[in-house]
Amino acid sequence: MTSELITYYLEMLDPVQLQPARLPEIPLEVRRSEVVYPALNHFLYAEVGADYEWTMRLRWSEADWLAWLDRPQQQTWIGYVQGTPAGYFELEAQPDANVELAYFGLLPPFIGKGYGGALLTAAIQRAWAMDARRVWVHTCNFDHPMALRNYQARGFQLYDTKREARPTPETTP
């Protein structure tokens, strides 16, 4: 296993850069989670990130989750396939009309079935709908092997790469 963490920073500066993904055979329905419910976001974060060393938020208390979620700048969206949650994304409005795609991913049963591109397309469309001037995201070499390729296929452009020693993974609480 590699001991280097490579973080890729990508941006989109105009909505016309979006290259929508082909729609999956079984449709994906994307709806905003409008009720602040920390346990739901905790579940999505833990399940989506389980294979990719997403550990930082696992130690968050309910108050930590509430502080993150209960802000007008934050939006959580969930993709459903036949009524079942398939993945999610979090958007955060930031200063200077930037919108960060803060978290994005699929639940394990939906990986490799064409839903990643469709959900990412929806995420980018929702980000631009927040009156963004710039939409950005970061990913790393420990995320899903197709993550960087999916971001670039949707029109994101790489603007920075950082390399550092891999931090010791935190154990799951």
Give the C-alpha separation, 27 to 58, whole Å: 31
Domains (range + CATH), the chain = 4-36+70-165 (3.40.630.30)
- Summarize pLDDT for 68-79 with one digit per residue, the tens: 999 999 999 999
In the chain, the percentage of residues whose pLDDT exceeds 70 is 95
Give the confidence band of 2 by pLDDT, cuts at 50, 70, 90: low
The two structure tokens encoding residue 46: 């833990």
Residue 12 near residue 173 (C-beta atoms within 8 A): no
The reply to whether the predicted model has a pTM over 0.85 is yes
Give the C-alpha separation, 18 to 117, whole Å: 11
Residue 119 near residue 104 (C-beta atoms within 8 A): yes
